[in-house]
Amino acid sequence: MPSPEQRKKIGQLFAVGFHGREINKEITTLIRDYGVGAIVLFKRNVLDAAQLQALCLGLQKIAKDAGHSQPLFIGIDQENGLVTRISPPIASQQPGPMTLGAAGSLGYAYEVAKATAEMLRYFGINMNYAPVGDINSEPLNPVIGVRSPSDQAETVSKFAAACTKGLREHKVVPCIKHFPGHGDTAVDSHYGLPVIDKSRADMEKLELIPFRDAVADNIEMVMTAHISLPQLAKNGLPATLSPDTIGILRNEWKYEGVIMTDCLEMDGVRATYGTVEGSLMAFQAGVDNVMICHTFDVQAAAVDYVCDAIESGKLSQERVDQSLERLQKLKERYTNWDIALHAEPPETLAAINERGEKLARQVYADATTLVRAQEGLIPLKSTTKIAFVSPGPDVPIGGAVDSGTLPTRVPWIADTFAERIRMKGVRVTDVRFTSSTLTEEQWKQVDEADVVVLATRNARESKYQKELGLEIAKRRGSRPLISIATCAPYDFLDDAEIRTYIAVYEPTVEAFSAAVDVLFGDAQPRGKLPVAH
């Protein structure tokens, strides 16, 4: 058994998650007895504003009382758009990366990141696992997609830099992810180990560009990906566990910031090497901070396993001390006990959210993209009879590791979206589907409508949505059909029979509302497709 002192020292190198909205026995033990230095929050930890602020403050108090010399890092994936852990009504919904890419403004990217950081800081969150540095070069990518601003490396790089600058503004640590680039895979590393069989030369021309630029800008943290790169790493090790891949950052680019892993309970590592063994392998490869999000027994075992490895000489004390020093220096720059134990009043949050909503409205309006339109159809008249057709919950959703509930999150609440159309004073029939056909009654509603508005989500991967959309187009003939892609913009991008096509890049009601404004002539579509077409 490691000594309590050694255990607490090594615990500083771990970032852990926990279940529930209150401080429980497990997280208390990890902070107090295992000296864990960072906490990862998810949607599962969030109930309301008062609870979240009290939770973060409570975690810091445990660390202080346990004798931690520095506050905890408390991190979250507030990428915005598709991956939003703190949502309305707690905080204003901010536009995600591809929405920002469509709006085409680096100024917006900076302002949105700044607004996000200000909101996170209010709650006591001092780290954001953003920006996303992945390039959406594979349209069928199930894990990145709209989490990336573009399929062009230089664009991704510029947006990542703007986001980084905005987060720094309010003292929230930025962390670019997922090195060396998760964009060109059709496998989700939550459920398997993706393989990217590219040469180093090819990756230099694409995937590595945003990360190299971020390192040149002294990005504070880099998160690694659980992807196998046979031409870069021996033994097909995932990047997270590969000395060759981590060596690009450390040895070639001379990066001196903090390197952290993505969650080691994702199947990209858990199913291949195991989370506990993977923790040691990550440190041996040169990583500074290991993330384990879900299971207390695994988290505790990993800390002890690394302690034992130091004792047995499998991991050098010198290697560990380098990581401890990097984390300590980063905490010195971004937090102290006065900041960590301070709580702002609720009025502060109200003002932050008001400013955030105003900014978001502008961005959503500027991002809505009218890809093509049937002549003379838009704007719709208030007398128009509309059938609003949208998919039920069986939809691939793409995204980030959450509370272990993936992929069961439903895409949206139907009446919220339909309601936004009704607010324009028109008659709307709500038609929900979960397969590639409709009931007789639903087909009648589609046939009798003046205009059909079809909302889809990732229809390119979700065959039944694609099939139904094309069937509706066939049945409607020349009668108006408007398709709105509510997530990835590819759904009917190349299907000319869908003559009016709008992309909004994220399944948030705020983004959808901006499209509705365009439909009824209350706004002009100003967005441009940020991916090749």
Measured on CA atoms in the order 304, 309, 315, 321, is the torsion positive or negative? Answer: positive
* Nearest-5° Cα angle at 529, 528 to 533: 135
The residues, ordered by sequence, that sit 6+ positions from 381 with a Cβ below 8 Å of its Cβ are: none
On whether the CB atoms of residues 143 and 190 are closer than 8 A, the answer is yes
Q: How far is CA 142 from CA 25, 146, 178, 265, in A?
A: 35, 10, 14, 18
Secondary structure of 321-332 as H, E, C letters: HHHHHHHHHHHH
Task: State the CB neighbour count (10 A cutoff) for residue 195.
Answer: 14
On whether the CB atoms of residues 502 and 471 are closer than 8 A, the answer is no
Rounded CA separation 486/529 (Å): 14
Sheet of 481-485: strand order equals 369-372, 500-503, 481-485, 451-456, 385-391, 427-433
* DSSP letter for each residue of 318-361: HHHHHHHHHHHHHHHHH--HHHHT----HHHHHHHHHHHHHHHH
Name the catalytic one among 262, 288, 402, 517.
262
The gap between the terminal CA atoms of the chain, to the nearest Å, is 59
Which candidate, 445, 435, 444, places its Cα nearest to that of 469?
435
* DSSP letter for each residue of 12-53: TTEEE--SSSS--HHHHHHHHTS---EEEE-GGG-S-HHHHH
Helix, strand, coil percentages (3-state) for the chain, rounded to 5, are 45, 15, 40
The residues, ordered by sequence, that sit 6+ positions from 404 with a Cβ below 8 Å of its Cβ are: 294
**186 DSSP 8-state letter:** S
Tokens of 337: 């006990």
Residue 331, φ and ψ in degrees, nearest 5: -65, -40
Residue 421, classed as helix, strand or coil, is: helix
Q: Does the annotation mark 217 as catalytic?
A: no
Rounded CA separation 222/215 (Å): 9
Residues in the chain: 533
Measured on CA atoms in the order 431, 437, 442, 445, is the torsion positive or negative? Answer: positive
**183 DSSP 8-state letter:** S
On whether the CB atoms of residues 46 and 86 are closer than 8 A, the answer is yes
218 torsion bin: left (phi>0), alpha (psi -120 to 50), beta (else): left
Rounded CA separation 322/308 (Å): 18
Catalytic positions, written as ranges: 262
